[in-house]
């Protein structure tokens, strides 16, 4: 017997998420073969003879029982490595404490920075494993993780290393993003420009030489960093050849998206306040719009991202959890998909493409997020009648099987 396929999955309906005309990129193929972690066969098996001939080409044959096969989800925006959590702060808030009182009692992002700096690597890793595992259980096979709770050299590098090491503990690929420009650390109070100098002169050279980050991100906002400070970080990242991502237009129209487009950013994230007139620039630069309904929901926001205009200009829209301890403690890509539909009026087709093919693009990854020959065999199998069910239910499903690079996990 020739073992041409490491695994052969037959009798499946395939929502490929390929950018074709059919909903969910559905294919007529019902059989898929994997070799060396990649999809090497997609075919429509019509007769028992045909199927038998294919089955003889693999020692590992799986009957999909008519279930739907989707690409593994890609969560393209998380901050899931951090010390402590903010449940206590949540309690205080709901007991009527103001943000100032919470900050005075050591809460807010500064509190998370303190706890992250104090946590040792093992603690950071163990808590991150628990969080990432919840995403993996829903069929997420690639996660982006940002730094940004250390804000000093040592802790930022540790966060990135810990994030990457999740790959050794879970069946998931990790993409790391350096988000030093997340908040101003106490060491640089009233000296944001000095902190940008520190990022560009002291941190980014280490990150670039040790290849610790796949991208660099900035929180460009009135309460974050200005457009000119953001541009200095982008220019430095570009100098080191590291791709750019950006938190922009979450709370105000600061024109961070225009700057990001100018620098050919992979993605602009949040974008509730993005002006319609700035959208053609994103279309031109091929920048993905990453929508984060979890933060919108958690912060009780009312301004919605300009979904109609993004759609009209064919700007790809991705969806992610933004999993973080402050504004989006959301460990569920399926809930993010549902929220994208309910809160932002995405169609289920757009929402599911947003958490697969477009999320992969938001990370600059062309080898996943779709089911096609040559792509990674990151696959999920679902006992559903239609893919729309995954968006329709509020976190109501679990995959019946997950394959990471062709291996059943």
Phi, psi angles (nearest 5°) of residue 394: -90, 100
Q: How far is the CB of 383 from Zn ion (least distance, A)?
A: 33
Angle between helices 108-118 and 153-165 (to 10 degrees): 80
Applying CB under 5 A, what is the total number of residues that bind Zn ion? 1
Q: Identify which of residues 16 and 176 has a Cβ nearer to Zn ion in the complex.
A: 176
Instruction: Give the total residue count for the chain.
Output: 409
Helices and strands (DSSP H and E) totals, the chain: 17, 17
Q: Identify which of residues 229 and 321 has a Cβ nearer to Zn ion in the complex.
A: 321
Phi, psi angles (nearest 5°) of residue 261: -65, -40
C-alpha–C-alpha distance, residues 100 and 385, integer Å = 50
Q: Identify which of residues 246 and 346 has a Cβ nearer to Zn ion in the complex.
A: 246
Q: How far is the CB of 322 from Zn ion (least distance, A)?
A: 5
C-alpha–C-alpha distance, residues 360 and 76, integer Å = 7
Contact 192, 180 (CB under 8 A): no
Give the CA distances from residue 120 to residues 154, 158, 164, 223, 330, in Å, rounded to whole numbers and listed in that order.
12, 9, 16, 29, 24
Q: How far is the CB of 294 from Zn ion (least distance, A)?
A: 10
C-alpha–C-alpha distance, residues 7 and 182, integer Å = 43
Q: Identify which of residues 67 and 147 has a Cβ nearer to Zn ion in the complex.
A: 147
Q: Which residues pair with 275 in a beta bridge?
A: none
C-alpha–C-alpha distance, residues 287 and 264, integer Å = 7
Q: Identify which of residues 221 and 322 has a Cβ nearer to Zn ion in the complex.
A: 322
Which H helix or E strand runs over 145? strand 140-146
Q: Identify which of residues 141 and 267 has a Cβ nearer to Zn ion in the complex.
A: 267
Q: How far is the CB of 260 from Zn ion (least distance, A)?
A: 14
Q: How far is the CB of 269 from Zn ion (least distance, A)?
A: 6
Q: How far is the CB of 240 from Zn ion (least distance, A)?
A: 22
Q: Which of 140, 79, 62 is nearest to 368 (CA)?
A: 140
Q: How far is the CB of 216 from Zn ion (least distance, A)?
A: 14
Kindly provide the residue ranges of all beta strands, DSSP E only, lying in 197-258, ordered along the sequence: 215-219, 244-248
Q: Identify which of residues 145 and 307 has a Cβ nearer to Zn ion in the complex.
A: 145
Pairing of strands 244-248, 288-291: unpaired
Q: How far is the CB of 247 from Zn ion (least distance, A)?
A: 5
Q: Identify which of residues 231 and 269 has a Cβ nearer to Zn ion in the complex.
A: 269
Joined together, the tokens standing for residue 337 give: 């998909």
Residues 319-358 as x/- pattern, contact with Zn ion by CB under 5 A: ---x------------------------------------
Residue with smallest beta-carbon separation from Zn ion: 322
Contacts to Zn ion from residues 305-324, by CB under 5 A: 322
Q: How far is the CB of 15 from Zn ion (least distance, A)?
A: 28
DSSP string, 25-59: GB-S--EEEEETTEEEEEE---SHHHHHHHHTTBS
Angle between helices 153-165 and 121-137 (to 10 degrees): 40
Tokens 């038998």, residue?
52
Contacts to Zn ion from residues 223-242, by CB under 5 A: none
Q: Identify which of residues 272 and 322 has a Cβ nearer to Zn ion in the complex.
A: 322
Contact positions vs Zn ion (CB under 5 A): 322
């Amino acid at each position: 017997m020739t073992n041409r396929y490491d695994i052969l999955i037959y009798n499946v309906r395939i929502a490929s998420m390929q950018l074709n005309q059919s909903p969910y990129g559905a294919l007529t193929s019902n059989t898929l073969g994997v070799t060396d972690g990649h999809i090497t066969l997609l075919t429509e098996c019509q007769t028992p003879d045909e199927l038998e001939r294919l089955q003889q080409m693999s020692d590992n044959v799986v009957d999909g029982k008519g279930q739907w096969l989707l690409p593994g989800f890609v969560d393209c925006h998380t901050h899931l490595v951090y010390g402590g959590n903010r449940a206590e702060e949540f309690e205080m808030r709901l007991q009527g404490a103001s943000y100032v009182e919470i900050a005075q009692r050591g809460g807010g992002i500064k509190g998370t920075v303190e706890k992250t700096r104090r946590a040792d690597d093992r603690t950071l890793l163990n808590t991150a494993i628990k969080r990432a595992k919840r995403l993996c259980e829903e069929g997420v096979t690639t996660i982006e993780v940002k730094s940004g709770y250390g804000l000093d050299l040592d802790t930022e590098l540790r966060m990135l290393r810990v994030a990457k090491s999740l790959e050794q503990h879970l069946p998931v690929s990790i993409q790391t993003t350096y988000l030093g420009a997340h908040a101003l650390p106490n060491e640089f109070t009233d000296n944001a420009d000095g902190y940008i100098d520190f990022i560009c002169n002291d941190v980014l050279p280490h990150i670039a030489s040790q290849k610790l980050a796949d991208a660099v991100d900035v929180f460009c906002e009135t309460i974050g960093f200005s457009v000119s400070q953001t541009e200095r970080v982008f220019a430095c990242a570009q100098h080191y050849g590291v791709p750019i991502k950006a938190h922009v237009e979450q709370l105000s129209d600061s024109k961070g998206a225009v700057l990001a487009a100018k620098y050919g950013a992979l993605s602009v994230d949040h974008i509730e306040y993005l002006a319609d007139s700035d959208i053609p620039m994103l279309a031109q630069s091929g920048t993905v719009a990453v929508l984060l309904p979890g933060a919108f929901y958690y912060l009780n926001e009312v301004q919605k991202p300009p979904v109609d205009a993004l759609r009209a200009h064919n700007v790809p829209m991705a969806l992610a959890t933004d999993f973080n301890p402050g504004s989006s403690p959301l460990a569920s890509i399926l809930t993010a998909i549902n929220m994208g539909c309910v809160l932002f009026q995405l169609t289920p087709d757009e929402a599911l493409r947003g958490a697969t093919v477009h999320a992969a693009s938001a990370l600059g990854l062309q080898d996943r997020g779709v089911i096609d020959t040559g792509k990674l065999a990151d696959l999920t199998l679902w006992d559903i009648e239609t893919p729309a069910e995954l968006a329709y239910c509020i976190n109501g499903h679990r995959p019946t099987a997950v394959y990471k690079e062709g291996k059943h996990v």
